[in-house]
Structure 1
Amino acid sequence: MTSNICIAGRSFQRRFELADHVKVVGPGLVNGLLAINLKREISEEKKPRRIEIRTGQGIPKAETKQIEAKKQAA
């Protein structure tokens, strides 16, 4: 058994809003259907970065100061 699939021949329009860091790199027709390749390009300052956290004696302790309030007469 065979089935014929027919896609309408009329024009249509579909819009997508892409993020600023997404670029269209390869639009084309594949078997009569539109295929679009996208690439995500994230700048260095927006990429996650690794921050080293030291433990032990390498961390200097912050100096604490005691603040005393003025005494009020009873």
Structure 2
Amino acid sequence: MRIVDLSRELYHRTPSYPGHPPIIHGMWKTHEEAYAESRNVYGLASMFISMADHGGTHIDAPRHFGPNGISID
């Protein structure tokens, strides 16, 4: 079996389907901000990602293209 990597990098200028929102990502909380809130845990830095379900590499089920298509349910 041969595995082919079809993934692609997601970044703020990743093209999106017309009419769909862009990919947005950034820092939610730094180590310093997390520590200032908790005063005892210094390691909970966190980022966020917001994107449409059609962003990046994915495969659509046949139902996506019409009501008579096969679903994945």
* TM-score class, shorter: under 0.3
Give the TM-score, by structure 2 length: 0.24
Answer 1 or 2: which has greater helix percent.
Answer: 2
Normalising to structure 1: TM-score of the pair?
0.24
> Higher relative contact order at CA 8 Å, sep ≥6: structure 1 or structure 2?
2
Could you say which structure has the higher strand fraction? 1
